Amino acid sequence: MTRPIVGIISNSHLLEETYPVQLAGTSNIEAVADVTKAMPIIFPALPQIADIDEICTRFDGILLTGARPNIHPSEYGEEETEAHGFFDRDRDAVALPLIRACVERGVPILGICRGFQEFNVAYGGSLYPEIRDLPGRMNHRMPPEGTQEEKFAMRHDVNLTPDGHFAQIFGSDTVVTNSLHGQGIKQAGDRIIVEGYATDGTPEAIRVEGAQSFAYAVQWHPEWNAQHDSVSRPLFEAFGTAMRG
C-alpha cells in the first residue's frame, strides 16, 4: 500500500556560522514515519522556491515544526524588540499563507510550538514575546542544562475543553506535557479555538474553526518519544488517520 506523504517544513540555519542550510529535526521525521506511518519529506522554507499551490497538491499532510527563531512581530502588527529574540523571515513568508491554504483546501496540517504560534498569527492573532515575564505565569522555556531526556521531560498539566476535539483525541480532559517555548498566544486569531490551557492560563492546544480537515496545533513538543508517549502517539495517529480520510 502506498504511504501518504507528509511535508515537513525546514528552518533556515547557518552551519558553522557561515554556510546557509535548511534543516528539520530528526524526531519530527521519526514521529511521522513511525506513528502516522507516512513518508516524511522535508521541503524548504524559502519563498522563492516553496510554491504554496504545489505544496498543497503534492503532499497529503503538512507538519509545521518547532524552531528556535520566532515569528517577526511585524506579522502581527507590533514593533521588534530585543525580547522577541531572532527571526526566520523566510519561514514566516512560507508558513503563514500555507496554513490558510491547507485549511481552505482540506489538507491535514499539524503545528508544533512555533507552528502553533504560526497558526495563531496566520489568522490575525498576536503573541507575547516572553511568557515568563507575565504575572502569574511559569517559565515555559527549555531547561538550560541537562540531558535531552531531562529537557523534554513532562513539566505541567494541560487542561482541555471537556468533550472537545483534543479531549476526544487523548481520551481525557487533562494531559501532561513537556514545555520548551518562550513565546505564547496573546490574542487568539479570528478562527482560532483554544481548547487547552496550562495550569497558569497559557494556551497550549488550538484548532482552526470550520476547517475542512485536521487543523490542530499544540504548544508543546509531541514529536519527542512520539511512538511511546501516551499523549504524543494519539495526536500523530489522528493526523495519520486524517490523511487517509
Strands 203-208 and 19-23: unpaired
Cell output for 231: 499523549
With a CB cutoff of 8 Å and minimum separation 6, the contacts of 83 are 129, 130, 133
- Which residue in 140, 165, 181, 221 is the catalytic one? 221
| From 113, 140, 165, 181, active-site residue | 113
Residues in the chain: 245
If you write DSSP's letter for every residue of 24-87 in order, what string do you get? --HHHHHHIIIII--EEEEE---TTT--HHHHHHH-SEEEE---SSBPPGGGGT----GGG--B
13 as an active site residue: the answer is no
Give catalytic status of residue 140 as yes or no.
no
Please tell me the distance from the alpha carbon of residue 52 to that of residue 96, in angstroms, as a whole number.
10
Neighbours of 96 (CB within 10 A): 17
Q: Is 30 a catalytic residue?
A: no
> Could you give the residue numbers annotated as active site?
113, 221, 223
